[in-house]
Amino acid sequence: MSVVIGTRRRTAAVSAAAALAVLLAGCGGGGSADPAPTGPGASVGSALAGPADPEATLRFVYATDASKNYDPATAANQFVNAFLLPAYDRLFDIDAQGAVVPMLAESSEVGDGGRTLTLTLREGVVFHDGAPFDAAAVAANIERGRTAERSSLKPDLAVITAVDVLDPRTVALRLSAPSASLPALLADRAGMMVSPQALANPDLDLRPVGAGPYRVVENQPGALVVYERFDDYWNAGATAGAARRIEVQIQLNPETRLRSVQAGEADATVVNLDQYAAATGAGGQVLVQPGTGAFLVYLNMASNPALADPAVRAALSMAVDRAGISQAILGGQCTASPQIFPDGYWAAATDLGPAASTFDATAARQALADAGYPDGFSMSMTVINVAPYSTVAEAVAAQFGQIGVSVDLQIAEPAQVISGFTGQKTVDSYVSQWPGAVDPARTVGSLFLSGGTFNPGGTQDEEIARLAAEGLATPEGDARSEVYRQIAARAVDQHLHLPICSSPVLLMASPNVRGLSTTIAGAPDLRAVEMVAG
């Protein structure tokens, strides 16, 4: 094993070292298929009955500050939606069954052979700064997302060629091709509406101005974001019993987050997968929320010549002990899988075969030699300085070391990590989670297509690009599912990024918290959470 720890980089804690020892004990030689997949436990506990207190404060502790950028168009952190949802309503929403439903767009109609999506907008909606929500506001937001230099929404909106304001309540989106996924994408950041009067605000990244149920009244970057109920919210009935005030505290340390809820210093938090047993033993509620996310090694396939070779990526994939990482580091709560979509999801590949997830260090070492690297090669890897992310990265780096790959492991603050991988594009790989997406088209666009935020090298497999275009144009149903299953299988075959396991979201809450959940994209949804007196 050859793992380089450099400046501003740290070694693992004792518990992490113990987990690594367990993993490496089985890394030395012969091949073996992954054991039966592990998976998440069940939710535990329930909220109190009784009336909600609409004047209460919800104290939620989150694990990241999402790089301190809360502008829907320019945010690049994959966990930012937790901060955006209270402030920004979207053109569409996704219901509990995963169906697209109206939100700020009261209705929609597809015309011109699928090349026009006409939206009829709600009346009487105002932004937090008093500006009216109308077709001109929609046009300004869509154009900004499509064309702004720093926009991270360009892949989501690429199919839109023009936005026509037909009247104050009607806007027509002109498309280059039919797009079955566009309404779902407009139920995510691409459809979040910012007040047109605030688009030029220099502090928009820290002071959201939307049309959602809460407005930001305080922001201490990296420490605290405070929201208060917006009294002129158009859909006040949906949040009538919700807390008046939400305080989102940022705490990177997972043990501190768990203890804060246990001690009554906070009402709810997100807990790490390896904390399931501790959280369920602490009393209160543990909510296991299924989603479409995964732990993975993101790859910049253009920064390092070795990573541009699918055969090298195949060797790296074979060197990863997915089930071992889940069991030893993630508490067995993450289902080992080589693909980005969770098993059972309608876009997930089926019948990949055992070879796709085989862990075999000896065969991986030989495959690397066959690819032209008998002495291995060097690569860089970055990860945030928080367990279990850092521990997973240390395990992966150690397993790569077993086949002769020397990893320069850079453990740093979240903002520095994101900047190095997606901004400066100077790091070869990044260990983290993909939280999921409202539609598989967003996952494909973000991870596999040129211009995707988490494809910093711009590497694009032409077969996936062809299928992605087909998936956008194919109506909902079995035919569209089959297209995305082919994309998922092709991504595994070409080893475009290295998924480790499919992960749920775990939330811990006091019994006084009612209505806490996550979106299908894995973001904690605080918009309608009630606090019950008890």
Q: What is the largest CA-CA distance in the chain?
A: 69
Look at the domain 294-502 and name its fold.
Answer: Dipeptide-binding Protein; domain 3 (3.10.105)
Which residue in the block uniquely carries the two structure tokens 């400046």? 7
The answer to whether 460 touches 450, Cβ cutoff 8 Å, is yes
For residue 71, report the phi and psi dihedrals to the nearest 5 degrees. -95, 115
How many C-beta atoms lie closer than 10 Å to residue 234's C-beta?
A: 19
First to last CA, the chain: 54
Whether residue 235 is predicted with pLDDT greater than 60 in this model: the reply is yes
The answer to whether 402 touches 20, Cβ cutoff 8 Å, is no
Q: What value does the mean pLDDT of the chain take?
A: 91
Quick check: helix, strand or coil at residue 255? helix
Whether residue 4 is predicted with pLDDT greater than 90 in this model: the reply is no
Distance between CA 287 and CA 271 in Å, rounded? 10
- pLDDT attached to residue 195: 98
The answer to whether 48 touches 511, Cβ cutoff 8 Å, is yes
The answer to whether 216 touches 248, Cβ cutoff 8 Å, is no
Domain span(s) for CATH 3.90.76.10 in the chain: 88-191
Stretch 174-199: mean pLDDT, rounded?
Answer: 96
The answer to whether 119 touches 108, Cβ cutoff 8 Å, is yes
Whether residue 6 is predicted with pLDDT greater than 80 in this model: the reply is no
Whether residue 35 is predicted with pLDDT greater than 90 in this model: the reply is no
pLDDT-derived band of residue 390, with 50, 70 and 90 as boundaries? very high
Please identify, in words, the CATH class of the domain defined by 212-290+505-531.
Answer: alpha beta
- pLDDT attached to residue 430: 98
Structure tokens at 507: 């939330």
Could you list the beta-strand ranges (E) of 349-425. 378-384, 406-412
Could you list the beta-strand ranges (E) of 53-115. 57-62, 92-94, 100-102, 105-111
- pLDDT attached to residue 14: 34
The answer to whether 516 touches 509, Cβ cutoff 8 Å, is yes
Is domain 88-191 given the CATH code 1.10.3720.10 in the classification? no
Distance between CA 335 and CA 351 in Å, rounded? 16
Q: Is 98 left (phi over 0), alpha (psi -120 to 50) or beta?
A: left
Cite the DSSP H helix spans in 204-358. Answer: 254-262, 276-280, 310-319, 322-329
How many C-beta atoms lie closer than 10 Å to residue 447's C-beta?
A: 22
Distance between CA 442 and CA 430 in Å, rounded? 19
3-state DSSP: the chain helix, strand, coil percent, rounded to 5?
A: 30, 25, 45
- pLDDT attached to residue 415: 84
Whether residue 353 is predicted with pLDDT greater than 90 in this model: the reply is no
For 137-153, b/e burial (b = at least 16 CB within 10 A) is bbbbbbebbbeeeebbb
Residue type, 483: V
pLDDT-derived band of residue 111, with 50, 70 and 90 as boundaries? very high
Could you list the beta-strand ranges (E) of 168-258. 170-175, 214-220, 224-229, 245-250
Domain span(s) for CATH 3.10.105.10 in the chain: 294-502
- pLDDT attached to residue 139: 98
The answer to whether 505 touches 293, Cβ cutoff 8 Å, is yes
Per cent of the chain over pLDDT 70 is 93
The answer to whether 330 touches 380, Cβ cutoff 8 Å, is no
Which residues are within 8 A (CB) of 366 and not within 5 positions of it... i.e. 6 or more apart?
none
Which of the pair, 34 or 508, is modelled with greater confidence? Answer: 508
Which of the pair, 137 or 66, is modelled with greater confidence? Answer: 137
The answer to whether 325 touches 38, Cβ cutoff 8 Å, is no
Which residues are within 8 A (CB) of 88 and not within 5 positions of it... i.e. 6 or more apart?
72, 192, 193, 194, 208, 210, 211, 212
Quick check: helix, strand or coil at residue 400? helix
- pLDDT attached to residue 476: 85
pLDDT-derived band of residue 21, with 50, 70 and 90 as boundaries? low
- The CA–CA distances, whole Å, from 397 to 2, 37, 312, 322, 403 equal 8, 22, 15, 13, 10
Quick check: helix, strand or coil at residue 159? coil
Q: Smallest Cα–Cα separation from 227: which of 3, 528, 26, 533?
A: 528
Domain span(s) for CATH 3.40.190.10 in the chain: 212-290+505-531
